[in-house]
Structure 1
Amino acid sequence: MTLPRLIATDLDGTLLRGDGTISRRTLDALRTAAEAGVEVVVVTARPTRYVDALASVTGLSGTAVCSNGAVVYDIASRTVVESRVLSVGAAQAVAGAVAKVIEEVGFAVETGGSVIYEPRYRMRFAELPGFESPVQALADLWALTTPIVKLLAHSERHDADFLLAAAEEAAPGLAQFTHSGGPGLLEISAPGVTKAGTLAALCAERGIDAADVHAFGDMPNDLTILNWAGTGYAMGNAHARVLAAVARHTVSNDEDGVAVVIERLFSGH
């Protein structure tokens, strides 16, 4: 069996177990791949600050594609290598269009370093406290001078699949819409920004073809990389759309599905 040159893996629901940890088995499998010269790239919806926190506990290093492709990040040096942000004008236009078709939706701006939210946005990320700041009104978000890595839209009345479909119909072409399974959470990036687009550019810089990439994911925002990579695996716990769209499946994140595949790859080496 030919080894890949690069392994691209999502974090939540994929590399991480349900309790947010990475098992020793999975860390050992990643180490085996890296020692054999296979580059491991984290490709996640999470911001850079979350990757920093995870790396400090697990020792993860290398390159991360963060915020659904908006940021390329060097984990060891904690340096943003490249970013593609959403313009204020586009964010405001998208928010206006989405608010017309979705009741009681709230908005927040992800800057990479923090989340800044208006009063109707009620979702909180308790695992990294201290990185969320309120503003008094929606208009205050558009007066911010910080970069908009992602615009977040949250509804307590609708699930993420509903929000995605509604936003794509209400604001086609204005931005890139996706979700990673957060309850009622829609993630909005600059037009054309996807996990696969950023990963493909990163691979091109390294002279790596899609055929030489193995990818792992579980949510709709992972579909672009799972379909782009030469070999894509849906986790056993993946969203129904992902399981239907991706031919290869591994076991769930809580069963160390990424490690299972990597161990199989190296069993004959």
Structure 2
Amino acid sequence: MRLVASDMDGTIVGHDGKISPRTVEAFQRCLDAGVEVVFVTGRPPRWLDPLREQLGHRGTVICSNGAVTYNLNDEQVLSAHLLEHSNILAAREIILDLYPAAAFAAETVTGFHIEHGFAEEGAVELLAGAVAMPLADSLGGHDVIKFLAREREVQPDNFLNRVRPAVAHLVTATHSAPSVALLEMSMPGINKSVTLAKFAASRGISQADVVAFGDMPNDVQMLNWAGTGYAMASGHPEAIAAADQQAPAFEDDGVAQILEKRLAALRASL
């Protein structure tokens, strides 16, 4: 184990935005043992406060399901895979044909653009700093890293399973919200595993030496790619099926439990 790659929400971060002290300590022990740590999340760069404030992480974060590699220390985008505006608008029309009540948003390198109906009035985290207007008008010259679609009257898996094949020629679609029908779409061919593989190679770390943790469909490719992929026992069935190992549930500090055991084994082998 030379590199630990972990998802955030539902894997180490709870609904309250908190990371447990045990998990914080486990990641610190990895660093103390010379094991590199990278976080691989669906979150955009603007939404990484738990890593900064609770873990004191200042390194690289792979954001927006692999679309962005971000340096948290310098708050700089190191690389970005951008969606074509024409693909976004074409995907939007296809989704509206399937789900006329769908609402849309676009995450850019520098901000968030939402259409009417995408977020509830009380959704502070979604609405803070957002530009609210039709996407065709608001995108302009902005570089889009993630396109989102929301539907309130359908189950999340059903939404994904119907939309994904219809837009596959335009975007890569996935989801990471267990109870909200919210699709996350990136440039075709981009997912967490693609960017994680490049990051590991840049550090001279082989695939076999990567241990990954995740819990949702947007983690599937990463769990498949890593030398050892752990799905959370509390995770989505697709993630559990994709991983070769299972970690205890999030509520039981599953990531910390696995890291503690692997670090103990690492020490015993020295």
State the match for 2:162 in structure 1: 166
* Counterparts of 2:243 and 2:50, CA distance in 1: 31
The residue identity in structure 1 corresponding to 2:97 is K
State the match for 2:202 in structure 1: 205
Structure 1 residues without counterparts, runs of 5 or longer: none
**Structure 1 residues 94 and 123 mapped into 2: Cα distance closer, same or farther (>3 Å)?**
farther
State the match for 1:265 in structure 2: 262
Q: Which of 238, 241, 246 is the aligned partner of 2:238?
A: 241
Instruction: Say whether residues 1:118 and 2:115 are aligned partners.
Output: yes
* Counterparts of 2:257 and 2:38, CA distance in 1: 18
The residue identity in structure 1 corresponding to 2:206 is D
- The answer as to whether partners of 1:102 and 1:166 remain within 8 angstroms in 2 is no
* Counterparts of 2:94 and 2:146, CA distance in 1: 16
How far residue 264 of structure 1 moved from its aligned partner, in angstroms, is 0.2
Aligned residue-pair number: 264
Q: Which of 130, 133, 137 is the aligned partner of 2:131?
A: 133
* Counterparts of 2:127 and 2:182, CA distance in 1: 19
RMSD: 1.7
Instruction: Say whether residues 1:88 and 2:114 are aligned partners.
Output: no
* Counterparts of 1:247 and 1:100, CA distance in 2: 38
* Counterparts of 1:180 and 1:112, CA distance in 2: 20
More moved, 161-170 vs 78-87: 161-170
1:3-58 CA distance string (max 9 Å, x none)? x1100000000011342211111111101101111110000000111114641343
Structure 2 residues without counterparts, runs of 5 or longer: none
State the match for 1:232 in structure 2: 229
- The answer as to whether partners of 1:104 and 1:120 remain within 8 angstroms in 2 is no
How is 1:7-18 mapped onto 2 (pairs within 5 angstroms)?
Answer: 7-18=4-15
More moved, 99-108 vs 225-234: 99-108
SS of the equivalent of 1:208 reads coil
The residue identity in structure 2 corresponding to 1:101 is L
**Structure 1 residues 128 and 107 mapped into 2: Cα distance closer, same or farther (>3 Å)?**
closer
* Counterparts of 2:165 and 2:120, CA distance in 1: 24
Instruction: Say whether residues 1:214 and 2:214 are aligned partners.
Output: no
- Provide the TM-score with structure 2 as the length reference: 0.92
- The answer as to whether partners of 1:109 and 1:117 remain within 8 angstroms in 2 is yes
**Structure 1 residues 196 and 123 mapped into 2: Cα distance closer, same or farther (>3 Å)?**
farther
How far residue 206 of structure 1 moved from its aligned partner, in angstroms, is 1.5
- The answer as to whether partners of 2:119 and 2:126 remain within 8 angstroms in 1 is no
State the match for 2:30 in structure 1: 33
- The answer as to whether partners of 2:223 and 2:242 remain within 8 angstroms in 1 is no
More moved, 14-23 vs 252-261: 14-23
The residue identity in structure 1 corresponding to 2:262 is L
SS of the equivalent of 2:10 reads helix
1:140-181 CA distance string (max 9 Å, x none)? 24x422111101000011122122112223223211111112
Q: Which of 178, 191, 196 is the aligned partner of 1:194?
A: 191
State the match for 1:146 in structure 2: 142
**Structure 1 residues 128 and 161 mapped into 2: Cα distance closer, same or farther (>3 Å)?**
closer
Moved over 6 A (4+): none
State the match for 1:104 in structure 2: 101
State the match for 1:180 in structure 2: 176
- The answer as to whether partners of 2:228 and 2:244 remain within 8 angstroms in 1 is no
